[in-house]
Amino acid sequence: MTIRTRIAPSPTGLDLHIGNAYTALINSVLARKHGGQFIVRIEDTDRTRLVEGSEQKILSSLAWLGIPHAEGPDIGGPYAPYRQSERLPSYKTYAEELVANGHAYYCFCTASRLEEMRKTQEANKLPPMYDGLCKAIAPDDARKRVAAGERHVIRMNVPDTGVTTFTDLIRGEISFENKLIDDQVLLKSDGYPTYHLGVVVDDHVMNITHIIRGEEWIPSTPKHILLYRFFGWDIPNIAHVSVLRNPDRSKLSKRKNPVWVSDYRAKGFLPEAIRNYLAGMAWSYPDGRDIFSTEEMIGVFDMSQLKTTAPIFDTEKLRWVNGEYIRNMDAASLRSALYAFDSRIPHDDALTDRILPLVAERMKTLAEFWTLASFFYEKPAETEKPCDRNICAELATALSHAEWTHGAMEQSVRTLADAKGWKAKDVFMQLRLAITGKTVGPPLLESMEVLGKEESLGRLSRYI
């Protein structure tokens, strides 16, 4: 059996949600481990929630993240089209098939009747469910009303008794009482399928062998299981991964954490670091290490080791992982990543290579390069604290006689401090302020070596 996995995002957000990136990674790793295919299908049947440009953003974020798909709306494939809005006739056929064999029925209830029903249920503290009124209509009558053009939907005919059970690859057996499962709408009056019909039909016809999605879809799964049975189709393997949480354990939300992949890209995170961090959300590398590549993960991954505990998405930890990746990059890769990330950085490889050893150790994101290193390229406009003119003047004189190595400069600053009875620490701080404009930053004298004597003395003399 060829393993086929998928993500089926709805283009209803601004970009790829980091939680969807997580499920994409797990799906992709499983497929790659077994030489299978990971595919992308766009579930765009809820026309009211579509967001312009969302699909492109989802696909480009997946590509940027380095989670490649074998089939999808952008690249096609043997089961095209991969956009549900382009597959409408197929859903109607399948829904009609269920009506014909009694597993679904036409429903003519108006919006106002449904609204009234909902209100009564609410008042009586009952779960909101369709009350089954149209189930009682004789099939022939229903067909005549449909033929006459009466507005209708198709609902699934859920048995009133019994239990629907499925075995989740990660969570084990999960059961739902049928009497609590709603007669879900399958085909809407506009001819579009609902999520439930669309997802079951497409996972079946696209030969998906493993459905791996977020735990928020567990309540939908018994409906899907019933649909598979109604159609007489084999049920794929199903696993629900835990949703990512904020450090306070609430569901990852925009208020507490950036949620879009593009937010992390804009902040200077590296795709391989994000993949590494996401991988560790509910899974551990067998030897316990924190840093591993996706290739290494593929080598040892085992679905059954996914944990069900709430994975905490902690931006600080992600920053740490990202810093590790930055430090492990060779100079050429880091240089090109920086040039691509920040257009302010001059493409002067020799200069970049002299600056990087001074700042890379302190960088957790690509964005921090400029914060740490901008003074190499431009004179600091203002200092955070005013410089002491007297100290700057003495420093300029002393350093003008120094050989331009950090050892010689250090000697001359210390000699000056001793001679004047100043604390060396204070003198170095004045020097740092004059040269970099900041109180903290990379090693100062090494940075001045890179800046050169003329430029450094020029910066000092501005304060005299």
Q: Which is nearer to ligand GLU, 213 or 362 (CB)?
A: 213
Min CB(116)–ligand GLU separation in Å: 30
Q: How far is the CB of 70 from ligand GLU (least distance, A)?
A: 17
Residue 82 DSSP code: -
Closer by beta carbon to ligand GLU, 240 or else 459 = 240
Percentages of the chain per state (helix, strand, coil), in multiples of 5: 50, 10, 40
Query: Does 57 qualify as catalytic in the annotation?
Result: no
Residues 119, 113: Cα–Cα separation, whole Å: 10
Q: Which residue lies nearer to ligand GLU by CB, 8 or 243?
A: 8
Least CB distance to ligand GLU at residue 195 (A): 6
Q: Does 10 bind ligand GLU (CB under 6 A)?
A: yes
Token pair 């085909």 in the structure block, residue: 187
- Picking from 33, 27, 34, the residue whose alpha carbon sits closest to that of residue 8 is 27
* Residue 76, φ and ψ in degrees, nearest 5: 70, -160
- Judge contact between 276 and 292, C-beta under 8 A: yes
193: which residues sit within 8 A by CB, 6+ positions away?
45, 84, 88, 91, 95, 186, 187, 201
Q: Using an 8 Å Cβ cutoff, are 281 and 313 in contact? A: yes
Task: Choose, from 144, 254, 307, 385, the residue flagged as catalytic.
Answer: 254
- Binding test (CB under 6 A) with ligand GLU, winner from 26, 98, 185, 199: 199
From candidates 210, 213, 265, 267, binder to ligand GLU by CB under 6 A: 213
Residues 6+ apart with CB under 8 A from 26: 212, 241, 306
Q: Does the protein bind ligand GLU through residue 8 (CB under 6 A)? A: yes
In the complex, what is the shortest distance from the CB of residue 66 to ligand GLU, in angstroms, rounded to a whole number? 21
Q: How many whole angstroms separate alpha carbon 168 and alpha carbon 241?
A: 10
C-beta closer to ligand GLU: residue 187 or 372: 187
- Chain positions 156 to 195 lying near ligand GLU, rule: CB under 6 A, are 195
DSSP tag of 237: E
Under the criterion CB under 6 A, does residue 43 sit at the interface with ligand GLU? yes
Is residue 217 within the footprint of ligand GLU (CB under 6 A)? yes
Output 203 or 388, the one with its CB closest to ligand GLU: 203
**251-280 binders of ligand GLU (CB under 6 A):** none
Catalytically active residues, by annotation: 254
What is the contact surface with ligand GLU in residues (CB under 6 A)? 8-10, 43, 195, 199, 213, 217
